[in-house]
Copies of this chain bind each other. A is one copy, B any other.
Amino acid sequence: MPGQRVDTILDRLRGEGIRVTTARRAILTVLTEHAGPISVDDLASAVQSRAPDVHRATVYRNLSDLEDLGLVLHAHTGHGPVMYQLASGARSQLICESCGTTIEVGPELFSALARRAREQYGFVVHPHHFAVLGRCVRCS
């Protein structure tokens, strides 16, 4: 299944005149197999276990390109590292500032905030681009 999904994306890339390389395939495979957001660090490690020669700079460049194409999204997590995930089925995160525990949540959690921001300020919230910081059950 994941392999098929990767191939679908690669076909789309080819259609856009973008070349299918070892690095690109490995990055998309890891993103597809890993449900939810993953840090560049973890992503690069996973990629390098498949294709050892892939350089970090290449990972950054690819993530940036894939994001421009609308295929992946990044999220800022405060003190923590930037997290990437496939755009389809993207999830948001609640992150504990004390222990780092991360809870993945759907966009419905933001519906009221999004509505108020839009009504009061005309501001459209992007729930996938930032983590909600706070304190988890165990730490509070």
A residues within 8 Å of B by Cβ? 76-79, 94, 96-97, 103, 105, 109-113, 116-117, 120-126, 129-137, 140
Option from B110, B124, B126, B135 in Cβ contact (under 8 Å) with A113: B110
Copies per complex?
2
User: CB < 8 Å: which of B103, B113, B123 contacts A121?
Assistant: B103
Using known A-B contacts A112-B113, A129-B78, determine if residue A134 contacts B123 with beta carbons closer than 8 Å.
Answer: yes
Instruction: Return the contact of A137 from the options B112, B121, B129 (Cβ within 8 A).
Output: B121
A-B contact list, 22 entries, CB within 8 Å = A76-B76, A76-B77, A76-B78, A76-B133, A78-B130, A96-B123, A97-B126, A103-B123, A109-B120, A111-B112, A112-B116, A113-B113, A113-B132, A117-B134, A122-B136, A123-B134, A124-B140, A125-B132, A125-B134, A126-B133, A126-B134, A130-B130
